[in-house]
Amino acid sequence: MEIRSGVELPARREDIDLHTSDGLSLVGELATPVGGTAVATLVCLHPLPSGGGFMDSHIIRKAAARLPALADLAVLRFNFRGVTSPRGRSEGEFGDGLAERHDLAAAMDFVAQRALPSPWLLGWSFGTEIALNFGLRYPIIGAILLSPPLKRSTREQVSAWSGSGKRVVAVIPEFDDYLRPTEARERFAVLPETELIAVPGGKHLWVGEAQTRQVLTEVVRAVNPSALPLPTEWPD
């Protein structure tokens, strides 16, 4: 069976609820490997809610569908406050990137309660800004930034990661709508430790199987490179 858009590989999948310090319940899912213990955890932060982003935005959904089986990763995804998906609606209203710090805190509390291993933040677009602006306070290995727009993240918030010992991997599409590789190198110069990966032909939304595989490969290269190359087929 070829691994493509609609394929969901085996995993333990658990519907979860996260509880924020300001009294909201957020809906989510934890997917973990069937046959053993995860080697690392992806805490997924989805694109802009007012632009249609949610926990099923396709790269995040496919990370949860594939990477527990292909790369021994635990994948935690959830809807930010006020966001609806087939899993349900998270309570509250969109906080324009400020109130969502409580949502990230609730996710990291869950990671700690479950003792999920080696957590990484995996942000996409708006989610990268939540990771950059608030992620430093948590015991993470690092942050993977897919299509970071750097609209809500200031120079000071980016530079604060310098010397932290936490890895920052920025995956920049060649034809991004907001931040292309040349400008990204300039903006991330305040964080010289940034591992900046320019993806030829890439676009902000990473549409198509070729771009999906490229993105997931870069995620796994950062988190569990021994799992590469990712298979493109799965036994029936």
pLDDT tens digit sequence for 175-232: 999 999 999 999 999 999 999 999 999 999 999 999 999 999 999 999 999 999 999 9
- Assigned domain for 3 exists: no
The model's pLDDT over 67-125, given as tens digits with 9 standing for 90+, comes to: 999 999 999 999 999 999 999 999 999 999 999 999 999 999 999 999 999 999 999 99
Name the pTM for this structure. 0.98
- Tokens at residue 224, please? 């569990």
Containing structural domain, residue 210: 12-227
Which pLDDT value is given to residue 18?
98
Report the CATH number at residue 100: 3.40.50.1820
User: Which DSSP letter does residue 91 get?
Assistant: S
Q: Which of 123, 167, 168 is nearest to 148 (CA)?
A: 123
> 234: which residues sit within 8 A by CB, 6+ positions away?
1, 3, 7, 9, 69
* Contact in structure between 65 and 3 (CB atoms under 8 Å): no
- If one counts the domains in the chain, the total is 1
Q: Is the pLDDT of residue 43 over 90?
A: yes
Rounded CA separation 67/87 (Å): 20
- Assigned domain for 22 exists: yes
Q: Indicate the pLDDT class of residue 236, thresholds 50, 70 and 90.
A: confident
- Assigned domain for 220 exists: yes
Which pLDDT value is given to residue 35?
84
Distance of CA 7 to the CA centre of its chain: 19
Angle between helices 209-223 and 58-71 in degrees, nearest 10: 50
Q: Indicate the pLDDT class of residue 158, thresholds 50, 70 and 90.
A: very high
- Assigned domain for 2 exists: no
